[in-house]
Amino acid sequence: MKKKYIIFILIIAVIGTWGSCKSDFLTVAPTGSLDQGLLQTTAGLDALLVGCYSMLTGADNQQGWSWEAPGSNWVWGSIRGVEANKGSNSGDQQDIQPIQGFTEDPTNSYLDISWRFLYEAISRCNNAIIITNKALAASKITQDQATVYLEQAQTLRGWYHFVAWRMWTKIPYMDENADPSKASNSADVTPQIIADLTAGTNLPDNMGEIGKFNGTVAKVLLAKALMQCNHDYAGALTLLQYVKVSGKKPDNSAIGLAPTYGEIFDIEHRNGIEAVYTVQTSVNTGSGGFTGTENELLNYPYGTGKPGTCCGFFQPTQEFVNSFDVDANGLPLLDNSYDSPANQNLRDEGIVGGQIWDATLTYAKNQGVTAYAPGAPFKDLGYVSLIDANKGNNPLTSPAAWSLTWTEDNSKPVDPRLDWSAGRRGIPYWDWGVHTGSDWIRDQTYGGPYSPKKQVYKKSQEGKFTEVGNWTSGWTANGYRMIRYADVLLMLAECQIETNDLASALVNINAVRARAANPLGFVMESDGVTPAATYHVGQYPSFPTQDYARTALRLERKLELGQEGHRYFDFQRWGATYLISEINRALTYEESTPWGPTTYNGSKAAAKDVNYPIPQQEIDLSNGAIVQNR
């Protein structure tokens, strides 16, 4: 869809809309002009909507780099939710540091870029609505055509307002009739958000194209808003039940749980059965990569020969990795004892890593390698060179040249979703070979020993699903899975728990767990048949109480949807008391790790941290009409 209408998007970029920022915080002066009558056709309106949909990626060239803006919410949802830390090193993208440490102030550049980005997206939706109505008035389109255009634009507008509401709560609501000079954030805007999203529920399920919102997508988005804004679990339940039973993708194909967990994140399955809605991206279209996953550009392992080659950000936390511990029945440790010294899943922090030993290479003193003993071809052994000019000395048989510093131990059972959610030393990483430790990490002493994985492409996909010719191949066609079927089931289970239908919630949570338990979906060693670790996932036999069910649901969302931008907003929905308690518990543990004091430095969440501060620049530009939310 993006390729088809790229010329129209360029036209939109030239004419501008009322919603970008210049002298007024919600106003832009156009840099060119074009008769809007040229856009009052189905082709023109399609192009305007593509401009609206494109903002779902979290990328907009006019605003500069895009990792600051909401898209996959890797900063705002996952880092803030202590599933991941900033990663990389302490000097790069320093404005993320206070966000992860709950010390950000209103001048933080990430906040201002996100605000401007979202209101640019809203302005595009309003512009599409205005021009659609003009086209209808001029009889250039039919009423039925206008309705479909308007309902898509209204749903997108509602979604962008909802994203802003989750971040700041006190926001201006801007529709196509709003006067930007009079915008204020004094009123509750949730009724308008709900109304916009409700409009989309009238869309047909068959929109004919995978990248458009349809009735199913709108129902899920409305359910999210009802749960988050109003705690209306009964209202959301009805919508989600429909989606579970009758929902369709926008191209009218079926939705459901993918057979295996790992395939969900494979680029080739980006629009697979699990993906109720995937944000569409593309590469090698002549855009230089800017139609790809720019929002994720930093989030790859670090180093030559690694996927993306840059930049080592978005490293899973130790607390997140520990969460995948299981008991003898394959069930999660609901009492959080996974963080205890006896249970924590420590790996290789502080131990030198290195690629597989090669007899033809010369190694320097203190350089690391990986080797395998005969009879144990999948047990990684880490060695460090004791001498300079170390060539031809087999680490297994040369104790004067090599010191054994690490032996892989995967005897402890874990939930198999761990090794699709985090790159760990000794575990195969897609088809890039085994993750060999610190040589995949930019600075272990700052970010810890783990690598991001879900958004990373396979080595065999490089050049086909990644941009060719730019400074990094991190621009990919692996669009963000904005709505997954498992998320639908878990939202439905949450609604069932809150309406005290524990038996139905048990069925839905166990369905998600049953898929995770499919051995065909385990990460395998290079022989394709040996599991890379000891994996175990069991079924809950019952939910004896509502509180027990809540605890199980909340941890299940972490295990199933971790690193996908949801966690902080889940905490927000579950209330300030829970948010503060759970985040501070995780922060306290994380600060106990070797890298924790540097990365978190006494961080604590407080009552103010149920949302983010409104950017000071927007308050200043509004001449006081916009007020701070804390």
**pLDDT tens, residue by residue, 301-326:** 998 899 998 899 999 999 999 999 99
pLDDT band at 224 (very low <50, low <70, confident <90, very high): very high
- DSSP state letter for 615: P
pLDDT band at 64 (very low <50, low <70, confident <90, very high): low
**What pLDDT, on a 0 to 100 scale, did the predictor assign at position 65?**
57
**What pLDDT, on a 0 to 100 scale, did the predictor assign at position 288?**
87
Mean predicted confidence (pLDDT) in 79-90: 97
Of residues 12 and 513, more confidence is placed in 513
Task: Give yes or no for a contact between 451 and 301, defined as CB atoms under 8 angstroms apart.
Answer: yes
Predicted confidence (pLDDT) at residue 21 exceeds the cutoff of 50? no
Predicted confidence (pLDDT) at residue 38 exceeds the cutoff of 70? yes
Mean predicted confidence (pLDDT) in 394-414: 97
**Alpha carbon 453 to chain centroid, angstroms:** 11
End-to-end C-alpha distance for the chain, whole angstroms = 41
Cβ partners under 8 Å of residue 257, min gap 6:
273, 274, 485, 486, 489, 511, 512, 515
In 3D space, the residue among 474, 542, 452, 559 whose CA is nearest the CA of residue 506 turns out to be 542
Task: Give yes or no for a contact between 626 and 183, defined as CB atoms under 8 angstroms apart.
Answer: yes
Main-chain dihedrals φ then ψ at residue 176, nearest 5 degrees? -70, -15
Task: Give yes or no for a contact between 248 and 276, defined as CB atoms under 8 angstroms apart.
Answer: no
**Alpha carbon 372 to chain centroid, angstroms:** 35
Cα-based torsion angle of the residue sequence 411, 412, 416, 418 in order, rounded to the nearest 10 degrees: -120
**What pLDDT, on a 0 to 100 scale, did the predictor assign at position 60?**
78
**Alpha carbon 519 to chain centroid, angstroms:** 25
Which two tokens mark 421? 């959610």
The average confidence (pLDDT) of the chain is 93
**What pLDDT, on a 0 to 100 scale, did the predictor assign at position 67?**
85
Mean predicted confidence (pLDDT) in 545-551: 98
In 3D space, the residue among 481, 488, 507, 330 whose CA is nearest the CA of residue 416 turns out to be 330
**What pLDDT, on a 0 to 100 scale, did the predictor assign at position 88?**
97
Phi-psi category of residue 358: left, alpha or beta, with phi > 0 → left and psi -120 to 50 → alpha: beta
Output the pTM of the full model: 0.94
pLDDT band at 5 (very low <50, low <70, confident <90, very high): very low
Round the CA-based radius of gyration of the chain to a whole number and report it. 25
**What pLDDT, on a 0 to 100 scale, did the predictor assign at position 486?**
98
Predicted confidence (pLDDT) at residue 435 exceeds the cutoff of 90? yes
Q: Which amino acid is at 529?
A: V
SS3 assignment, position 181: helix
Mean predicted confidence (pLDDT) in 586-610: 96
Instruction: Walk me through the domains of the chain, giving residue ranges and CATH numbers.
Output: 1-198+580-630 (1.25.40.390)
**What pLDDT, on a 0 to 100 scale, did the predictor assign at position 309?**
84
**What pLDDT, on a 0 to 100 scale, did the predictor assign at position 4?**
39
In 3D space, the residue among 569, 543, 565 whose CA is nearest the CA of residue 484 turns out to be 565
